[in-house]
């Protein structure tokens, strides 16, 4: 592992990076939020199905 080479590549990436515009940030935030909600919904549905199957639907 060549440390000076790694540092120069990191510096090069940081120099190329730019701050996102407000529009870009909002779009990424909406997509990430939708993904979190989707994963939560899938987990809830799996939990509800498992509860229904193991308890026979509360009967």
Q: Examine residue 1 and state whether it is found in any structural domain, yes or no.
A: no
List the domain range (segments joined by +) for residue 51.
21-59
pLDDT for the residue numbered 3:
61
Q: Does residue 6 fall inside a structural domain?
A: no
Q: Is the dihedral of CA 48, 54, 58, 59 positive or negative?
A: positive
Output the pLDDT for position 57.
60
Report the number of distinct structural domains present in the chain: 1
The pLDDT, as a whole number, for residue 48 is 93
4 pLDDT higher than 90:
no
pLDDT value of residue 56? 65
Q: Is residue 36 in a domain? A: yes
Domain for residue 57, yes or no?
A: yes
> Considering the domain boundaries, does residue 14 fall inside one?
no
pLDDT in tens, 6-59: 788 888 888 998 899 999 999 999 999 999 999 999 999 999 999 989 986 655
């Amino acid at each position: 592992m060549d440390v000076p080479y790694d540092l120069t590549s990191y510096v090069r990436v940081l120099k190329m990076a730019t701050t996102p515009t407000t529009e870009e940030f909002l779009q990424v935030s909406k997509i990430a939020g939708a993904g979190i909600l989707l994963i939560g919904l899938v987990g809830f549905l799996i939990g509800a199905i498992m509860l229904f199957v193991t308890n026979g639907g509360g009967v």
